[in-house]
Chain A
Amino acid sequence: MSFSKLTRRGLIKTGAAASAGLALPTYLRADGHTGFTNAPTGDTVTLGFNVPQSGPYADEGADELRAFELAVEHLNGGGDGGMLQTFSSKALDGTGILGKKVNFVTGDTQTKSDAARASAKSMIEKDGAVMISGGSSSGVAVAVQALCQEAGIIFMAGLTHANDTTGKDKRANGFRHFFNSYMSGAALAPVLANAYGKDRKAYHLTADYNWGYTTEEAVRSSTEAMGWETVNAVKTPLTQTDFSAYIAPVLQSGADVLVLNHYGGNMVNSLTNAVQFGLRDKEVNGKKFEIVVPLYSELMARGAGANIKGILGSQNWDWKLEDQLGSRYSGTNAFVQSFGTKFGFPPSQAAHTCYVQTLLYADAVTRAGSFNPCAVVEALAGFEFDGLGNGPTLYRADDHQCFKDVVVVKGKENPENSFDLVEIVEVTPAEQVTYAPDHPQFAGGSLGTCNPGA
């Protein structure tokens, strides 16, 4: 080989061309071969699980990762198969997805939108992930969903409860199994009316960010529709740790119910402070003062300890559903058995939604016969299924939101062990929490069309 004809200009041109080729993101190159981003070419397929591994929701993230690990094990034919046995669709047979062994990579969202986007981007571009799932915050979900839409990747949201995820920020490539603020309000309102009466004055403390606003709006509109009056709604900074200054004026306002539109550490602290102030021992307007927490989380309930006793809230799922309410919620026990045997404790609702999302994605790919995101969207949109723990469920085509029963729970008065923190009060049927796709609380966005990454 001779270098005698290599000129300076030629070297620059060759270098520029090589650099451009190397700089071109992996997904664009893959797309060049197969028509969509990160098309699996070998005998494996890679999924990307983007969960909070550090920061305040790290424990929730750890539970999500356990669920993903279990789902991948079951998809590859390991373990006892979990919900594959109960899932109404029988497309999955434990041989991976479309015969390809499932691998996974993980990223740390840190519960920060920019960090979550960076880790998702890295999993897509460097690791060749064909689907991204997980997360424990609506801000993160909306940010990563938009990224996946741009990149031509399917996003199966983890724990995200704000209306916006499948409302104004919905995307064709994104799907949410978890319930939302509207559903919490619609499920809770009748239970609250039954338990506390229709003549109540509510005082809302709301976390000052997107999820807080949508939850306050949903609970306010549902409770006002049944006769409650909202006497005040105060925004509290997300970074607040001591809520005493916000809770002390509650009794002076004449309110007899305090609604805490808080999640995570905010919920633990505001609830603890409210109980310390003795609100639940007071009587106002001739009625016992009550506290409501619209979105419950078992992991957060552990943080609040005895303070959650008797407090009503809503959940996407509970590990006791099938035992207490029968075979409508089949799949629950299979999942609890798999998870409990492997890890020694029952799964959280965050773990459940992540496990189910992974199975739903794998099933959609198998039914579609392709990893192409547009084929997956077609298979999932409007898909009706059962046997995944929530009863009959619909993935609505209009907004890619799952519609299913909502669990109303109450902090247990006498827990028998550290996992037995909440009791199921009622399950609100899916019909009661279903809304029109153009409902005002979800207005402003459009699904658009699926992006295969072309």
Chain B
Amino acid sequence: MDAIILQILNGLDKGSAYALIALGLTLIFGTLGVVNFAHGALFMIGAFCAVTFSKLLTLSHIVIDDTQKDFLGNPLKVEVPYIYDFFGQTTGDAIIDWAVPLSIIFCIPIMIAIGFIMERGLIKHFYKRPHADQILVTFGLAIVLQEVIKYFYGANPIPTPAPEVFAGSFDFGAMMGFAENTIIYPYWRLVYFAFAAVIIGAVFAFLQFTTFGMVVRAGMADRETVGLLGINIDKRFTIMFGIAAAVAGLAGVMYAPINSPNYHMGMDFLVLSFVVVVVGGMGSLPGAVLAGFLLGILESFASMSAVLEFLPGINQIIIYLVAIIILLTRPRGLMGRKGVMEE
């Protein structure tokens, strides 16, 4: 029982990341009809927003310390962050420690701007082209973006720790009456799950309870009629692209402490997120969220050593296996709308 609870918990944070990326993907598909293979790159850029913000906070000037030597025997050049000069060392350290959560503020405008540039500069030229062209151009864009990141940040992962206060893990087992250390869960992953829930809730609320959201939903249902009513739906859809980019970016920012960001992390999530979208139903927002969590949890279960003993390698194919079964039995996905991708 404790092993089952543990794997459900494990699936939640991975499911949160899948759900957030898939939500943006399906939002773009539902509004603009574009299959955006560069969406994983937006997740990666989000994580690198956290890296960049951390680096900005630790920008330093050199102070020569004659009492210490460097590896060549020269006087040691000590790097002192500028932030110490402004706030003092204690406050400066506290700000640096909280770099990841603080970088959310830095990330949102950047991701919206990147989303705008991507949509206006490239993707809009492919609206009327076949899906294969859209996939090729966005996939190419994803490769370009990751190579640009690699050029500036290198190929190795860059450690981006969570604030010290979230270090360690919470012992659910002890709380639920199991033995100690049987069900432990890192604090930061709990934060990530809660953060994902808030973002998903906010996106749904935005679409459900605002006039803007209502127009977007109407546009998703019947773009032509909304246009005939004199509403510039293209402009709203461009804004939605920016919002979808920001959601992917935020997912990336908060994921940075879970796995040290590297230029390839977007690709690692992209394929799985597409499976999530297909399983959830192309264009269905609740479907993307549901499938994200479902597949995240299933993946966790498939990685249990008890399962692997009976079905070696199942952890590597479980998601695709479920996708095949769902598509055979429910070709539109779990919550797919009729007519989407069926013409």
Q: A234–B304 Cα gap in the complex (Å)?
A: 9
Chain A: minimal CB distance from B193 (Å): 12
Given known contacts A244-B14, A304-B260, A340 and B169 CB-to-CB distance under 8 angstroms = no
Q: Does A319 contact B (CB under 8 A)?
A: yes
Q: A234–B189 Cα gap in the complex (Å)?
A: 23
Q: A378–B13 Cα gap in the complex (Å)?
A: 58
Residues of chain A lying within 8 A (CB to CB) of residue B264: 56, 265
Q: Does B140 contact A (CB under 8 A)?
A: no
Q: A270–B264 Cα gap in the complex (Å)?
A: 16
Q: Does B103 contact A (CB under 8 A)?
A: no
- Interface code B295-336, partner A: CB below 8 Å = 1, 0 otherwise? 000011001110010000001100000000000000000000
Q: A425–B262 Cα gap in the complex (Å)?
A: 30
Q: A58–B185 Cα gap in the complex (Å)?
A: 34
Q: A305–B161 Cα gap in the complex (Å)?
A: 8
B305–A249 CB distance below 8 A: yes
Q: A48–B84 Cα gap in the complex (Å)?
A: 48
Given known contacts A59-B154, A242-B14, A281-B168, A251 and B71 CB-to-CB distance under 8 angstroms = no
Residues of chain A lying within 8 A (CB to CB) of residue B182: 251-252
B258–A276 CB distance below 8 A: yes
Residues of chain B lying within 8 A (CB to CB) of residue A57: 155
Given known contacts A244-B10, A246-B303, A276-B258, A251 and B181 CB-to-CB distance under 8 angstroms = yes
- Closest-by-CB residue of A relative to B186 is A276
Residues of chain A lying within 8 A (CB to CB) of residue B181: 251-252, 282, 284
Q: Does B72 contact A (CB under 8 A)?
A: yes
Interface size class of B (residues with CB under 8 A): 35 or more
Q: Does A4 contact B (CB under 8 A)?
A: no
- Interface code A330-350, partner B: CB below 8 Å = 1, 0 otherwise? 000000110011000110000
* Interface residue count on the A side (C-beta < 8 Å): 50
Q: A255–B3 Cα gap in the complex (Å)?
A: 15
Q: Does B75 contact A (CB under 8 A)?
A: no
Q: CB < 8 Å: which of A237, A336, A419 contacts B315? A: A237
Residues of chain A lying within 8 A (CB to CB) of residue B13: 244
Q: Does A192 contact B (CB under 8 A)?
A: no
B159–A305 CB distance below 8 A: yes
Q: A57–B155 Cα gap in the complex (Å)?
A: 7
B72–A248 CB distance below 8 A: no
Interface residues of A in 376-420 (CB under 8 A from B): 416-417, 419-420
Chain A: minimal CB distance from B19 (Å): 15
B3–A276 CB distance below 8 A: no
Chain B: minimal CB distance from A422 (Å): 13
Secondary structure of the A contact surface, majority rule = helix
A232–B305 CB distance below 8 A: yes
- Closest-by-CB residue of A relative to B171 is A278
B150–A58 CB distance below 8 A: yes
B260–A305 CB distance below 8 A: yes
B71–A336 CB distance below 8 A: yes
B6–A249 CB distance below 8 A: yes
Q: Does B2 contact A (CB under 8 A)?
A: yes
B260–A303 CB distance below 8 A: yes
Q: CB < 8 Å: which of B150, B169, B304 contacts A276? A: B169
Given known contacts A58-B150, A278-B184, A245 and B299 CB-to-CB distance under 8 angstroms = yes
Q: CB < 8 Å: which of A56, A276, A278, A417 contacts B155? A: A56
Q: Does B208 contact A (CB under 8 A)?
A: no
Chain A: minimal CB distance from B255 (Å): 9
B258–A340 CB distance below 8 A: no
Residues of chain B lying within 8 A (CB to CB) of residue A302: 156, 159
Those 9 A-B pairs whose CB atoms lie nearest each other, nearest first: A305-B159, A245-B303, A58-B155, A278-B169, A303-B157, A276-B186, A278-B168, A245-B300, A251-B181
**13 sample A-B contacts, Cβ–Cβ < 8 Å, listed by A number:** A54-B155, A56-B262, A244-B300, A245-B11, A248-B6, A251-B182, A252-B6, A252-B181, A276-B257, A278-B186, A307-B159, A341-B72, A417-B76
Residues on B facing A (Cβ under 8 Å): 2-3, 6-7, 9-11, 13-14, 68, 70-72, 76, 150, 154-159, 161, 167-169, 181-182, 184-186, 188-189, 257-260, 262, 264-265, 268, 299-300, 303-305, 308, 315-316
Residues on A facing B (Cβ under 8 Å): 54-59, 232, 234-235, 237, 239, 241-242, 244-246, 248-249, 251-252, 265, 268-269, 272-273, 276-278, 281-282, 284, 299-300, 302-307, 319, 336-337, 340-341, 345-346, 416-417, 419-420
Q: 17 additional contacts, CB 8 Å, given A235-B308, A337-B72?
A: A54-B150, A56-B262, A58-B154, A242-B258, A244-B10, A248-B7, A248-B9, A248-B185, A252-B6, A268-B159, A276-B169, A277-B184, A281-B168, A302-B156, A303-B157, A303-B260, A336-B71
